[in-house]
Amino acid sequence: MSVLQFGTDEKRLYHEIREQVSAYFKKNGISPHANFTMVSKTIILLTSYFGAYLAILLLPIPVAAMWALAVVMGLSLAGIGMSVMHDACHGSYSSNPFINKMLGYSINLIGGNRFNWMIQHNVKHHTFTNIYGVDEDLSNGDAIRLSPYSDYRWFHKFQHIYSWMLYTLGTLSWVTIKDFKQFNHLFNERGHIRNSNFATEVSILIISKLMYYIYAFVVPYFVLDLAIWQILVGFVTIHIVAGFVLSITFQLAHVVENTEHETSDPNPTLETWAVHQIKTTCNFARNSKILNWYLGGLNFQIEHHLFPNICHVHYKKISEIVKNTVQKHGLSYNEYDSMLIAVKSHYATLKRFSNQSEQAIMA
């Protein structure tokens, strides 16, 4: 297996970054958790999602306006996932575990499952970033090749063209079959159920899914004077919008030209883990106020992967500390000035992996 090599300076890097970031919060007398900006964002995103839903149900508006509100719900759904649920499930929203747990369940309100997500994302993705075969974010069946270590199929030569359409299906899969399949898979992995209550998690999965389907389909069917196909169009619209936004944002973080891919024995030390995060993640549009607000810090992936326990509203400030320290130790601080440039880099990477010759050998 290929293994990342680390020098002495690189092993000291994470300790130095942690000390400087800790000093930043102490010097400024601020908490690394949510502030007023974060709380107000939470209220705005949850209100926009459920407000648009209630407007569809209760206001005498034309079908075209309902469809426009479905788009708003899709954007809000993605925002809740990126800016509220994400921080809460990492324990970075609040110092109070109960608040984090309750806000983490916002993913269940919008069709997902908190338990599944925390295992896939917090454990597998954050520990083994861009390590093919362990990081599930690189696995899309055979449809899209996101790593040079994955098997090549003949249709991959077109993936830089068709992948963008498949990205729209991300949350549709998530709210229908993916959570059930993933749940079954996770509970067959003993390490992930050691401290979990099987019956409780099964109940939460089933009940929350039923609640979601009831408010997404059953209530609109009985309240609105619409055909079932029209309700289905609205539902699909919500998830096409949300799926595309979420998929693109996550891909720009790891599957771009500057990031590394590995197959490695998944037993990282703290130091080797930290350097690995820097080499396999990428930032973009750090100076965009709009994206910084909406994307929940996912355009600051380097900072997020090094400090998932810090609320994303602080990433802009600490990014300069991280960047200066990383470069001081001779490592590249991967970033793109704009989202458009990052999208172009992702396209180039998809095209590169569409070539059969671009296939690394797994030992």
3-state secondary structure the chain: CCCCCCCHHHHHHHHHHHHHHHHHHHHHCCCCCCCHHHHHHHHHHHHHHHHHHHHHHHCCCCHHHHHHHHHHHHHHHHHHHHHHHHHHHHCCCCCCHHHHHHHHCHHHHCCCCHHHHHHHHHHHHHHCCCECCCCHHHCECECCCCCCCCCCCHHHHHHHHHHHHHHHHHHHHHHHHHHHHHHHHHCCCHHHCCCCCHHHHHHHHHHHHHHHHHHHHHHHHHHCCCCHHHHHHHHHHHHHHHHHHHHHHHHHHHCCCCCCCECCCCCCCHHHHHHHHHHHCCEECCCCHHHHHHCCCCCCHHHHHHCCCCCHHHHHHHHHHHHHHHHHCCCCCCEECCHHHHHHHHHHHHHHHCCCCCCCCCC
Q: Which residue has the tokens 């925002």?
A: 79
Residue 273 pLDDT: 82
Along the 363 residues of the chain, how does pLDDT read in single tens digits? Answer: 334 444 546 668 889 999 999 999 999 999 999 999 999 999 999 999 999 999 999 999 999 999 999 999 999 999 999 999 999 999 999 999 999 999 999 999 999 999 889 988 988 889 889 988 888 888 766 799 999 988 899 999 999 999 999 999 989 988 998 888 877 776 666 545 555 577 788 889 999 999 999 999 999 999 999 999 999 999 999 999 999 999 999 999 999 999 998 876 556 565 578 888 999 999 999 999 999 999 999 999 999 999 999 999 999 999 999 999 999 988 999 999 999 999 999 999 999 999 987 666 544
pTM above 0.75, yes or no: yes
Rounded Cα distance, 111 and 210, in Å: 9
Dihedral angle computed from the Cα positions of residues 65, 71, 74 and 80, in that order, rounded to the nearest 10 degrees:
-80
Contact residues for 1 (Cβ-Cβ < 8 A; gap 6+) = 263, 264, 265, 362, 363
- Nearest Cα neighbor of 112 from 167, 200, 177 is 177
Residue 363 pLDDT: 47
Residue 3 pLDDT: 40
Q: Where are the domains of the chain?
A: 36-273+341-353
Residue 189 pLDDT: 61
Rounded Cα distance, 63 and 229, in Å: 13
Q: And the tokens for 91?
A: 């324990």
Q: And the tokens for 88?
A: 């809460």
- Nearest Cα neighbor of 303 from 45, 90, 6 is 90
Contact present, 22 and 56 (Cβ < 8 Å)? no
What is the phi-psi region of residue 141: left when phi exceeds 0, alpha when psi lies from -120 to 50, beta otherwise?
A: left
Rounded Cα distance, 75 and 77, in Å: 5
Contact present, 250 and 304 (Cβ < 8 Å)? no
Contact present, 332 and 258 (Cβ < 8 Å)? yes
Contact present, 326 and 33 (Cβ < 8 Å)? no
Q: And the tokens for 211?
A: 């609640």
Contact residues for 266 (Cβ-Cβ < 8 A; gap 6+) = 127, 128, 131, 134
Alpha carbon 196 to its chain's center: 23
Q: How many beta carbons lie within 10 A of that of residue 57, not counting itself? A: 13
Residue 133 pLDDT: 81
